[in-house]
Every structure is written in C-alpha cells, then in structure tokens.
Amino acid sequence: DTEVTQTPKHLVMGMTNKKSLKCEQHMGHRAMYWYKQKAKKPPELMFVYSYEKLSINESVPSRFSPECPNSSLLNLHLHALQPEDSALYLCASSQPGQGIYEQYFGPGTRLTVT
Amino acid sequence: GQQLNQSPQSMFIQEGEDVSMNCTSSSIFNTWLWYKQEPGEGPVLLIALYKAGELTSNGRLTAQFGITRKDSFLNISASIPSDVGIYFCAGRRKGGGADGLTFGKGTHLIIQP
C-alpha cells in the first residue's frame, strides 16, 4: 500500500482564520514532507520531518506551522495567511536510509485564501 | 539553489507516437525520480533511478540515469490518451537521510486526436 491521505481536499479561509491541514500515511515511513505547488509550477519543498523531528525548514514564513504528532501523522497549521498563499499543498512520505529515496505524494489540499 | 532544466516544456503529439523528455542539472544528483501529475491530483511516482547509467522500464515507460549523474531522460512508447498530464523529473541531492526533492519545471504532454 503506497497511499498517503490528506484532508480536507479543498479549503477556503479568510486571512484572519486559523485552520489545519492533515496528512496520514500507514507505510511505516519515518520521513514526511510538506510541499507547496502553484498552478502550472513544480512542487516546492517547505518542511521535512525525519523521525518526527523537523530537519528542514526552507525559510517558510511563520504563518505556516508544521507539527508531527507521531510517525504516521503530519499537520500544517495555518494562521493569518495571505491571498498569495493560495496553492495546492502536498504531503509526501519516504523511508530514510536503506538507499531508498522514493517519495510518495498525497492528493493534496487545494487552499484558497480570500 | 539547485535547479533542474527540463525540456521540452510542452509536447503536442498524435496518439501512438513515441515521446522523449529530459532533465539536466549543473549539480550531481544521486537519485532521479520521474513523476506524472494529473489535474487536481498529487504527483504519482513512475520510475526511480539510483545508479549512473541505469536504464529502467515500467511498461511503456523507460528512463535512464545519465553517466555524469547530471541528467536523466524519460521515454514513453506508443502514447495513449491516458498518458496526458504533466511529467516532472525530480532529483535528490547527495547526502544521507531524509531530503527534499528538487523538481524540474515539468513537461506538459498533450495528445491530439
């Protein structure tokens, strides 16, 4: 099973709202990722968690706050977003080490900030 | 930051034609991955390459890891309508552990009836 699930599929929020995106995988992977993708552009890395610890933050604004409660779950907390933050947010997972670096993506959450 | 140059940007082909796209980089990558993305969905992994010179097939898809470790190509033979989508190459930088992927800008494949 190579499935990564994300909820919600669509989210519309105002600039003063607080919301969270959720990601779950049951492949036993110990690395999880958040990517941001604008229309007709490639995914851009935001955060990497390895063994539930934040290992990479690609200079993402503090209005995005990641959280990894356990090895299967990854959240992205959103607060005071701007309209330019509207995008497809993708979660991915992989198994670090062992020479295997394939990342498996979820279907994404389409976020619209009004 | 590191960049991947992917070409062509888009391809308009007839059903049944073969397709070829490639990625090049000024930096060495130790893993190349090829993904396909359809509208409203996340990228789906097609092929993973780990060794310089490696040639790997997945059905009608064939991909190769360049000898210099700075390039890779993907071929699709006998295209069919369901091949439509955006194809991304992605490279993983040298080093161990979890690491993010650097993506090419994508090749948009359009199949004309």
In this predicted structure, the answer to whether residue B24 has a pLDDT above a threshold of 80 is yes
pLDDT value of position B89: 97
How far is the C-alpha of A77 from the C-alpha of B91, rounded, in Å? 28
CB contact under 8 A, A50 and B101: no
Q: Which of A8, A14, A7 is nearest to A112 (CA)?
A: A14
Q: Which of B42, B45, B98 sits opposite A102 (nearest CB)?
A: B45
Residue B94's pLDDT band (cuts 50, 70, 90): low
Q: Work out the minimum CA distance from B51 to partner chain A, whole angstroms.
A: 11
Q: Work out the minimum CA distance from A13 to partner chain B, whole angstroms.
A: 19
pLDDT value of position B99: 74
Q: Which of B31, B33, B98 sits opposite A96 (nearest CB)?
A: B98
Contact B14, B34 (CB under 8 A): no
What is the arithmetic mean of pLDDT over B13-31? 93
Optimal mutation site among B101, B105, B108, interface A, most CBs of chain A within 10 A: B101
What percentage of residues in chain B have a pLDDT greater than 70?
Answer: 93
User: What pLDDT digit, counting tens, does each position of B47-58 carry?
Assistant: 999 999 999 999
What percentage of residues in chain B have a pLDDT greater than 90?
Answer: 76
More confident position, B40 or A38: A38
CB contact under 8 A, A110 and B31: no
pLDDT value of position A99: 66
Residue B25's pLDDT band (cuts 50, 70, 90): very high
In this predicted structure, the answer to whether residue A1 has a pLDDT above a threshold of 60 is no
In this predicted structure, the answer to whether residue B29 has a pLDDT above a threshold of 90 is no
Optimal mutation site among B7, B44, B86, B103, interface A, most CBs of chain A within 10 A: B103
What is the arithmetic mean of pLDDT over A13-42? 94
Q: Work out the minimum CA distance from A34 to partner chain B, whole angstroms.
A: 9
Per the listing, tokens 């295997």 go with A100
3-state secondary structure chain A: CCCEEEECCEEEECCCCEEEEEEEECCCCCEEEEEEECCCCCCEEEEEEECCEEEEECCCCCCEEEEEEECCEEEEEEECCCHHHCEEEEEEEECCCCCCCCCEECCCEEEEEC
| Chain B residues lying within 8 Å of A40, measured CB to CB | 106, 108
A45, closest residue in chain B (CA to CA): B100
What number of other Cβ atoms are within 10 A of residue A70's Cβ? 8
User: What pLDDT digit, counting tens, does each position of A36-80 carry?
Assistant: 999 989 999 999 999 999 988 888 999 999 999 999 999 999 999
pLDDT value of position B1: 54
- Residue count of chain B: 113
pLDDT value of position A42: 95
How far is the C-alpha of B22 from the C-alpha of B43, rounded, in Å? 17
Q: Work out the minimum CA distance from B10 to partner chain A, whole angstroms.
A: 11
What is the arithmetic mean of pLDDT over A100-104? 85
